[in-house]
């Protein structure tokens, strides 16, 4: 399967492959790979791809089609009656996501809701919790924030009549360093905290894979008098979260990355109970946020329940919520803590394999406590490298221009053998790199 290489290298590869297969056979939490559709390999010697792009779009659970088809079927059979007579009536369909989402992010059930998409939820949260006043106007994000978050916070500043250049502060790593130091974030809050209205960072950075110290930063941000929100796009379903205990003000995440719920799937949102209980917290309102007991009286007064549901605007897209329920079932079956333990084993194995590949630099922190499953590697011409990984080896990774390839071994469906394939393929691709 590696035609053209000499016998010694072949033997070593065979030994490494045997080791990977042994790790797969003996892992205390074997992959639930059989519960997912594994895409065929775009190239290379294996039928299935070694899929490392679950940080961008998670794989489809085999059960997702059944969940979606049941709703299509209820719509066909029952039409409007499906709101109340369906197998899972649509009028309170979103409530089925509540308990599993609460378990996933460490929230209380009345602190979480599945709704909208991520950037929309960030705006809804900022409408409630970004309340610039007096000298306290700043929004603090990380310099490597995802662009949607950068646009969102700048537009919030403008929305409040503020200059985004002066209002949005982008925290940078020290010169020559890749990651924000927790101590530097805390130092900023100590020095400048009285100016900070909102601190909103990514729990796991989409580019570097750095896992932030969410409890320490949340505590310091709140102590400085700021609201603290987390973008958990790359953290939900990747690392264990304790949002309630950490006293986070709000958080939002999408469901199509580690939550495997399909492109554009309904996102999630967390609002701490101290806020859901407080009717004085201002919020943008819609009819799905009012008390379901009185919603259909069609009265003009908004009377929200003391739950995160109060932030809902519209009745949810059932067809985009059904796969979320299918996926959450798998997380409940495996358990987030067991998944994290498996994730640490997989990522450590991949990191060890990558450390033996000349010509690449791992950008993600080496400390397992400071990363999720993703490893970002810096290579010359990331797009060309990822293209050859897929075409010649069936290894699917994604890239961030110009020089980062991101590899996410996802504990639900990735295997040690996938990691072996990634290590072997990267080595082959970088060894045979044409000049320039
Ligand atoms: C993926 C991602 C988004 C995407 O936002 P959508 O509103 O779901 O399109 C936003 N922020 C971060 C940090 C992300 O990783």
Q: Give me the residue spans of the domains in the chain.
A: 5-60+335-431, 66-332
Question: Positive or negative CA dihedral for 35, 41, 44, 45?
Answer: positive
**148 assigned to a ligand binding site:** yes
* Nearest CA owner, ligand 1 atom 8: 118
Q: Is the CB of 234 under 6 A from ligand 1?
A: yes
* Nearest CA owner, ligand 1 atom 14: 233
Structure tokens at 163: 């200059």
Ligand 1 centroid from CA 259, angstroms = 13
Q: Is the CB of 146 under 6 A from ligand 1?
A: yes
pLDDT at 74 over 80: yes
Ligand 1 centroid from CA 1, angstroms = 39
Residue 38 contacts residue 414 (beta carbons within 8 Å):
no
- pLDDT for position 3: 42
- pLDDT for position 434: 54
According to DSSP, the residues that pair with 114 across neighbouring strands are: 268
Structure tokens at 273: 């109970």
Q: Is the CB of 253 under 6 A from ligand 1?
A: no
Substitution candidate for ligand 1 out of 54, 114, 117, 118 with most atoms within 8 A of CB: 118
Structure tokens at 370: 């400071």
CATH topology assigned to domain 5-60+335-431: 3.90.1150
Read off the pLDDT of each residue in 72-82 and give the average, rounded to a whole number: 98
Residue 411 contacts residue 373 (beta carbons within 8 Å):
yes
Read off the pLDDT of each residue in 293-312 and give the average, rounded to a whole number: 92
pTM score, two decimals? 0.96
CATH topology assigned to domain 66-332: 3.40.640
Read off the pLDDT of each residue in 236-257 and give the average, rounded to a whole number: 98
Ligand 1 centroid from CA 53, angstroms = 15
**149 assigned to a ligand binding site:** yes
Ligand 1 centroid from CA 149, angstroms = 7
- Round to whole Å and give the CA distance between 3 and 50: 20
pLDDT tens per residue, range 88-132: 999 999 999 999 999 999 999 999 999 999 999 999 999 999 999
Substitution candidate for ligand 1 out of 53, 58, 116, 119 with most atoms within 8 A of CB: 119
Ligand 1 centroid from CA 119, angstroms = 6
Ligand 1 centroid from CA 239, angstroms = 17
């Amino acid at each position: 399967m590696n035609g053209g290489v000499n016998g010694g290298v072949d033997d070593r590869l065979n030994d490494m492959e045997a080791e990977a297969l042994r790790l797969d056979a003996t892992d205390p939490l074997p992959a639930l790979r059989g519960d997912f559709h594994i895409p065929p390999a775009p190239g290379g010697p294996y039928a299935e791809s070694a899929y490392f792009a679950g940080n961008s779009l998670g794989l489809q659970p085999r059960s997702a089609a059944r969940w979606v088809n049941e709703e299509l079927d209820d719509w066909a059979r029952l039409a409007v009656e499906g709101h109340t007579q369906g197998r899972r009536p649509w009028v309170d369909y979103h409530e089925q996501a509540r308990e599993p989402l609460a378990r996933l992010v460490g929230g209380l059930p009345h602190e979480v809701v599945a709704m909208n998409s991520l950037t929309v939820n960030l705006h809804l949260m900022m409408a409630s919790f970004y309340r610039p006043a007096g000298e306290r106007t700043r929004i603090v994000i990380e310099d490597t924030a995802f662009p949607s978050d950068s646009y969102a916070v700048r537009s919030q500043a403008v929305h409040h009549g503020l200059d985004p250049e002066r209002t949005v502060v982008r925290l940078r790593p020290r010169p020559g360093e890749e990651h924000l130091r927790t101590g530097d974030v805390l130092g900023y809050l100590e020095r400048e905290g009285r100016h900070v209205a909102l601190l909103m960072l990514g729990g796991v950075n989409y580019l570097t894979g750095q896992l932030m110290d969410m409890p320490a930063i949340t505590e310091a941000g709140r102590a400085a008098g700021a609201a603290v929100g987390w973008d958990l796009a790359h953290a939900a379903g990747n690392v264990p979260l304790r949002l309630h205990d950490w006293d986070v003000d709000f958080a939002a995440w999408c469901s199509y990355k580690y939550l495997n719920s399909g492109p554009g799937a309904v996102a999630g949102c967390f609002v701490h109970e101290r806020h859901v209980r407080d009717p004085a917290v201002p919020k943008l309102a819609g009819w799905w946020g009012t008390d379901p007991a009185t919603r259909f009286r069609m009265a003009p007064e908004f009377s929200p329940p003391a739950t995160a549901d109060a932030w809902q605007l519209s009745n949810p897209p059932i067809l985009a919520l059904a796969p979320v329920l299918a996926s959450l079932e798998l997380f409940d079956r495996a358990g987030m803590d067991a998944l994290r333990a498996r994730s640490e084993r997989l990522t450590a194995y991949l990191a060890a394999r990558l450390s033996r590949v000349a010509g690449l630099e791992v950008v993600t922190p080496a400390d397992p406590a400071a990363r999720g499953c993703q490893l970002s590697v810096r290579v010359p011409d990331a797009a060309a490298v990822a293209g050859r990984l897929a075409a010649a080896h069936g290894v699917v990774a994604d890239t961030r221009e110009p020089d980062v390839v991101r590899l996410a071994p996802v504990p639900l469906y990735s295997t040690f053998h996938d990691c072996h394939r990634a290590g072997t393929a990267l080595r082959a691709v970088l060894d045979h790199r044409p000049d320039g």
